[in-house]
Amino acid sequence: MTPTGERVRRAALELFAERGFHGTGIRQLAEHAGLSSATLYHYMGTKEDLLVELMRASLERLVAAADDVLAHHAGATARLGALVRLHVTSHAERPLETRVVDDEVHALSPERRREVVALRDRYEGAWQQVIDQGLATGAFSVESAAVARRALLEMCSGVARWFDPAGPVALPDLADQYAVLALRLLGADARRVGGDTPPPV
């Protein structure tokens, strides 16, 4: 990716996140990137192509990281805690791209949407799998795994809307807090975040 191409993507990220895809014009994009609108088309396909690229990049990173979590942790509690930390950290550190992914799916044409939703489903599948595992082992206890998954994801994604790195809560702390909240929500013993082994008697 050329530096200019990177600038274009950065500008798109900022504007799509702030005003939405339909609320952002090509000319605003060009101005924000410091280019003419014609030059913009050297570095992108259509406006929708650009959106898809941003979403795909963000989701692919997330999917890979989730796979990594599964590869490096075994127990449901540890895995879930790691997933929460990953998700919260991602959304706090990259609020622009996560908001675009979370909020602009409706702007995609059906074909493109399918592609993006498939990626998102892969990512959420990891969560589902861990929750199912925890329920099977008795580590978690919730009525509906699907409801819990959705509740957890929405709750953690919200961080992208308000986290302020200059604010009172440091990001690692926040990620830990969310891990505790999540495990409580799942009916897990939050003290046993490190693994699924029983607590000392």
Partner DNA sequence: AATGAATGAGAATTCATTCAT
Partner DNA sequence: AATGAATGAATTCTCATTCAT
Question: Where does this chain bind its own copies (CB under 8 A)?
Answer: 18-23, 103, 106-107, 142-144, 147-148, 150-159, 161-162, 169, 173-174, 177-178, 180-181, 184-185, 187
Quote the least distance from Cβ 177 to its own copies, whole Å. Answer: 5
The residue from 9, 16, 17, 24 that contacts DNA (CB under 7 A) is 24
Compute how many other C-beta atoms are within 10 angstroms of the C-beta atom of residue 153. 19
18 binds, among its own copies, DNA, none (CB under 5 to 8 A by kind): its own copies
Q: Using the rule CB under 7 A, give the single segment among 41-49, 64-72, 145-153, 181-189 that binds DNA.
A: 41-49
Give 25 or 165: the residue with its C-beta nearer to DNA: 25
Quote the least distance from Cβ 77 to its own copies, whole Å. Answer: 15
37 binds, among DNA, its own copies, none (CB under 5 to 8 A by kind): DNA
The residue from 10, 20, 31, 37 that contacts DNA (CB under 7 A) is 37
Q: Interface with DNA includes 141 (CB under 7 A)? A: no
Give 65 or 155: the residue with its C-beta nearer to its own copies: 155
47 binds, among DNA, its own copies, none (CB under 5 to 8 A by kind): DNA
C-alpha–C-alpha distance, residues 109 and 106, integer Å: 8
The contacts of residue 124 (CB under 8 Å, 6+ apart) are 149, 153
Angle between helix 145-157 and 76-93 (nearest 10): 30
Question: Got the DSSP string for 65-119?
Answer: HHHHHHHH--SHHHHHHHHHHHHHHHHHH-HHHHHHHHH-GGGS-HHHHHHHHHH
- Contact indicator for 153, 96 with CB cutoff of 8 Å: no
Give 41 or 163: the residue with its C-beta nearer to DNA: 41
Q: What three-state secondary structure class fits 25?
A: coil
Backbone φ, ψ for residue 200 (5° rounding): -65, 140
